[in-house]
Amino acid sequence: MVGGSTKVRTKVKVKEDVVKHSPAREDAVNLHQLEAQHGILGIVLLLFCGTVSSYLCTYLPEALTTADLKLHPTAFIAERAWDNLQVLNDFGPKPTGSQANELGAADYIRREITKAQVTAHATQLVETSHQTISGAYPIAFLGNPLTSVYRNVQNLVVRLAGQADNGGAALMLNCHYDTVASSPGASDDGGSCAVMLEILRVLSRAPERNRHSIVFLFNGAEETPLQAAHGFVSQHRWAADVRAFLNLESAGSGGKEQLFQAGPQHPWLIEAYGRAVRYPAAQTVSEEIFQSGIIPSDTDFRIFRDFGNVPGMDFAHTINGYRYHTRYDTIDFLTLPVLQRTGDNILALTRELVNGDELSRAANDTDLAEGYSVFFDVLGLFFVHYSLSAARIVNVTLVVLSLLLPLMELCRPVRRVGERNIFKQTLVGLLGTVCGTVASVAVVLLIANRLDAIGRSMSWFSTPYLILGLYGCPVILVHCFAHRLCAHWFNDKKSVLNLTQTVRARLVGVNLFWALLIIPLTLANIRSAYIFVVIQLLSLLSTILTSVLGYQHQPRRWLALHLAFQIPTLLWATKFYHLLLKLFVPITGRMGAGTNPEYLVALLVACGGLLCVSYLVPLVGLLKQTSELTARLTVFAMIAFLLGCCTQVGFPYRDESNGEPSVQRHYVTHTLQVAHRNAGTVLERSGFLFREMDRNAARVIRGIAKPSEAVPMRQMESCRTMLFCGVPFYSIWHQIRFDNYWIEGTPPNLEHHTLPTFELVTSQQRSSTTRQYSFSINHRYQTCVQSALIIAPKAGVRLVAWSLMESVPGTIEFNGEQAHFVLITYGLADEAPWTVSFDFEYDPKNLPEQDGNGKLFDVSWVNTYWEYASKHTDDFRKLIEQFPEWAHVIPSVAVVNITAY
């Protein structure tokens, strides 16, 4: 009897405890649940925030004109820079070696520098230097070494002396006025040079000198690649004074100048940027992406860092990358506000740096030189930066608080009887997020695979909004299904938690998901973890405010507060969606055909979708039904599929008729192959080489040439008879990574007397195992021609020394052959020949004899003419004319001369 009575009392006590510690069951009449149509509000909120962040990503200030000079005498005036850009634009394409670059653009910039010198304030000292330089250096692209040689390239250099006019520390600003062939380069990089000319005007007319000197470097050979910058840092007398630099570049045609890499280390540069720049646009993630090598570009930043050992900051415009390196990179597609924003920011940053203490201390103060920074702008409104060591503390602290505080707040009202349910629902939220992430990645990759398989790759190229339907809607749908399925699988009808508490516990599971991502990234020193840290911070602030206001027992107020904090979360997340897609979608048009670009875009959307909806999708548990939400998302996805696969909307390319050209790129080289055989025989072949620049290029190439005539490069007959297939090799990126096609054709029309010559002068036996060959190279005419030397030693022979530079880099592999690759760029023509020597080491016993003479190596001497349209044959012109209007063709003429020595 006593035992039974105690048992009854215990049950009663527990029941009373549940009543005592549980809040009023407001969901007894479905107050916790929402009507199905409320799910659409989340999509509307997402689209609204995406629109706002897109606007903020592209917002530019109004430009100042010459009429504003009286009110703003020390300000950057965009209209004056625009006048300079108009002249540079009108020169047309300016590849290194062309008359437009070496004579036209160089002379114009020199005259503008002289004007600035003449109009400078009496207190200012403006010095000028016209550098014509030759040199060589080793560099590697995609892990493939090459030797970069430049002859008579030009640098126009200005020094605005500081207060201590004794050399001293200096800041350098750099731009390049040369362009790629067939592109006027208004954005890349004429706009930057125009900005620098205006900054030179403004600073040279100031009544007081800056504390430190400023060096303005207008370099004439960046696209070749990066050669004039090396000439400056290795040979110019002012280079030793440079303590930091600002490199102005472009990978698009307008928009904001993004700070996309800084340092390395030297956190004081980022601190100065934060103090000075009025319109910040800078992301650590951009730096880590660019330095990963995924982007097929490089800048002079690399040369200043690696060969000058100077820290700096790299800026580039990235909007409308469709026009980058095309005929549409003209002033017609730029605006004055682009120059104004860039000029305002760079001028303010220049003033900050040259009047601070750091420049004079940077070379010797190790405290300044060490340490990495985490930096980012918040929607372009303000700038945040902190050290990597501080990031570790912040990240770990935030992770712990984002888990402990909400769990403590949830466990308090259901102590002892509901804690197990809270932990269980937390794991449900984690599992739902993990399953949604994995499944969404799998689904979008499957969609990407199928779109490519049916020939609809890049349907979003000109219409990026299709991406939202093709990939965005499936991502959200999969996350919704994953959370609903996990909730169904682990449903507990005996749970003491009400519906709101259940959903809030699942949101803690989302916190746990981000924590499990942030901690490994932090331990690996991947600074881009800040993207997820900001999202988790907003979630933590929402939790704290909910507790302070007492909304944990008021479902609708809690939901309103949670959604209010989702607005900055969505603005933050959609900013990265826009930033990455605006960068990578145009890049897919020049990344070759070997990789399916659908995979890249699919993964970007899957990641962006996770950022956007991770704290929204658990809310579907509050809906009475999710069918209306999923049905509408499905409809949106189907509409996008129909538009992308069945209508002209999904055609990837556009000409300029709509004012927004997005072209398909094609490099076409009219080629003559000449192989010198034993006994004086010569083998000649000619034809046209096409480079497959994107996933759809092969269909256009085969449409222009009959499929039977377009031969894949590695199946060419010359691959069996000539070194490196007799290909006009000039770019590791284009020749090794990209697929190429060959069509037999008539020989090109050549002015042979304008070709650079490569002639054997002497052959000397230096020892029993070493032989030296000397060759004479001559470039007598002012033509835009680029040479390449491909030196392939025979089996058992090694190239051990040469006169190009002290070291001999390793070999590259192509078509199963190993060879040393030398790229030679010519600036100003030079009547004097240039002698180079090569020392080969070999074992005479193992050297094969050919016609009584032991040949030690094969040489492919390649000369490629750019901007050679006046000499194109009729066949070549007709071939180019067959390309559609939405194609951008870069024609060239090349001669490949192969000889054994």
Tens-digit pLDDT profile for residues 808-834: 999 999 989 999 999 999 999 988 899
Q: Mean pLDDT lowest for which of 454-463, 517-526, 544-553, 843-852?
A: 843-852
Contact 263, 372 (CB under 8 A): yes
Count of Cβ atoms closer than 10 Å to residue 777 Cβ: 19
For range 538-549, the mean pLDDT: 95
pLDDT confidence bin for 254, thresholds 50/70/90: confident
- Classify burial at 187, counting beta carbons within 10 Å of its beta carbon; exposed 0-12, middle 13-18, buried 19 or more: buried
What does the pLDDT read at residue 679?
A: 67
- Give the β-pairing of 817-826 and 812-814: antiparallel
Query: pLDDT at position 778, please?
Result: 93
For the chain, the maximum distance between any two Cα atoms, rounded to a whole number of angstroms, is: 121
Token code pair at residue 730 = 């000039």
Lowest mean pLDDT among 17-31, 139-153, 196-210: 17-31
User: What does the pLDDT read at residue 17?
Assistant: 43
Report how far Cα 489 is from the mean position of its chain's Cα atoms. Answer: 43
Does the structure show a pLDDT above 50 at 345?
yes
**Is residue 568 predicted with pLDDT exceeding 50?**
yes
pLDDT of residue 9: 41
For 688, residues 6+ apart whose C-beta sits below 8 A from its C-beta are 668, 669, 670, 671, 742, 743, 745, 876, 879
Residue with tokens 């990179």, as numbered in its chain: 329
Check whether 46 has a pLDDT greater than 90. Answer: yes
What are the residues whose beta carbons fall under 8 Å from the beta carbon of 298, sequence distance 6 or more? 141, 225, 226
Q: What is the 3-state secondary structure (H, E, C) of 405-446?
A: HHHHHHHHHHCCCCHHHHHHHHHHHHHHHHHHHHHHHHHHHH
Task: Show contacts of 84-88: CB within 8 Å, 24+ apart.
Answer: 84/112, 84/193, 84/194, 84/197, 84/198, 85/186, 85/190, 85/191, 85/194, 85/331, 85/334, 85/339, 86/331, 88/177, 88/185, 88/186, 88/190, 88/193, 88/194
Q: Dump pLDDT digits (tens) for 645-661.
A: 999 999 999 999 989 99
- List pLDDT tens digits, range 114-136: 999 999 999 999 999 999 999 99
pLDDT-derived band at 622 (thresholds 50, 70, 90) equals: confident
b (16+ CB within 10 A) / e for 5-23? eeeeeeeeeeeeeeeeebe
Q: Are 652 and 480 in contact (CB under 8 A)?
A: no
pLDDT higher than 50, residue 14: no
3-state secondary structure of 343: helix
The single residue listed with the structure tokens 């022979």 is 797
566 compared with 624, residue with greater pLDDT? 566
Rounded to the nearest integer, the mean pLDDT of the chain is 91
pLDDT at 625: 80
pLDDT at res. 822 = 97
Q: Where are the domains of the chain?
A: 66-138+154-380, 404-650
Pairing type for strands 144-160 and 126-141 reads antiparallel
Band of the pLDDT at 848, cuts 50, 70, 90? Answer: low
Cα–chain center distance at 43: 30
pLDDT at 498 (0 to 100): 87
pLDDT more than 70, % of the chain = 95
Please give the DSSP secondary-structure letter assigned to residue 212: S
Q: Mean of the pLDDT values across residues 418-427?
A: 90
On the question of pLDDT at 59 being above 80, the answer is yes
Q: Which residues contact 149 (CB under 8 A, 6 or more apart)?
A: 135, 136, 804, 822, 823, 824, 825
| Per-residue confidence (pLDDT) for residue 880, from 0 to 100 | 95
Residue 870, pLDDT > 60, answer yes
Interval 537-566 mean pLDDT: 93
Architecture field, domain 66-138+154-380: 3-Layer(aba) Sandwich (3.40)
- What is the DSSP pairing of strand 170-176 with strand 213-219? parallel
Q: Is pLDDT at 405 greater than 60 in this prediction?
A: yes
Tokens of 739: 């697929």
In this prediction, residues 608-625 reach a mean pLDDT of 92
Q: pLDDT grade, residue 418 (50/70/90)?
A: confident
pLDDT greater than 60 at residue 21: no
Q: Which residue has the higher pLDDT, 543 or 24?
A: 543
Neighbours of 763 (CB within 10 A): 12
Give, in order, the Cα–Cα distances in Å from 435 to each of 132, 429, 529, 614. 61, 10, 21, 12
pLDDT, position 853: 60
pLDDT above 90 as % of the chain: 79
Q: What is the mean pLDDT of residues 858-864?
A: 96
Cβ burial, residue 364 (10 Å; 0-12/13-18/19+): exposed
| 26 pLDDT higher than 60 | no
Of residues 730, 607, 550, the one with CA closest to residue 149: 730
166 confidence band (pLDDT: 50, 70, 90): low
pLDDT of residue 598: 97
> pLDDT tens, 685-730?
999 999 999 999 999 999 888 767 889 988 898 998 899 999 998 8
Q: How confident is the model at residue 27 (pLDDT cuts 50, 70, 90)?
A: very low
Tokens describing residue 134: 């030759």
Q: Which stretch of 3-17, 342-356, 521-535 has the lowest confidence by average pLDDT?
A: 3-17
Kindly indicate the confidence band of residue 4, based on its pLDDT and cuts at 50, 70 and 90. very low
pLDDT of amino acid 417: 67
Going by pLDDT thresholds of 50, 70 and 90, the confidence category of residue 29 is: very low
**111 has pLDDT over 60:** yes
Q: Kindly report the CA angle at 82 between 78 and 88, in degrees rounded to 5?
A: 145
pLDDT surpassing 60 at residue 268: yes
